[in-house]
Structure 1
């Protein structure tokens, strides 16, 4: 039994070796051709935007407007008295001064 297996393996190995040797050959090739076209992207171009000039608003000379505030004088205003710090009622003022 072993002899048959070894004979089959030997025969298959011999066929593989022979087929490889039969396909072996020497080939020499020489090719002269035009290379394939190659596209080279252009370099990016950076362009600065044009400067925008905005004219400043015209300056207008303003005259200061005098502020007129109502003046409150020390003394009687109706039934109240102003002493420069607070308002006094008539009875409070006379009671405070003891006149």
Structure 2
């Protein structure tokens, strides 16, 4: 190879090297994220708190008792106090 060809190759390599080092991608210093040191301690989080739902309030008859939202009534007491019909209309506690 003559001197002219050798100089051309050297100049071309220099231009390519300069362009490669000057571009933004080469100067970004991208890290691959390899941790060679001591790893961090794991973080323990408390489990989420679950609150139990409130009791279901069912207004109505429960067997022989009626729940009106405040207290239980016996079936005969309920009909007598509220004027209902239970085998004939009698007064309060007349059975």
TM range (shorter): 0.3 to 0.5
Normalised TM-score (structure 1): 0.36
Q: Which protein has greater RCO, CA pairs closer than 8 Å, 6+ apart?
A: 2
Larger radius of gyration: 1
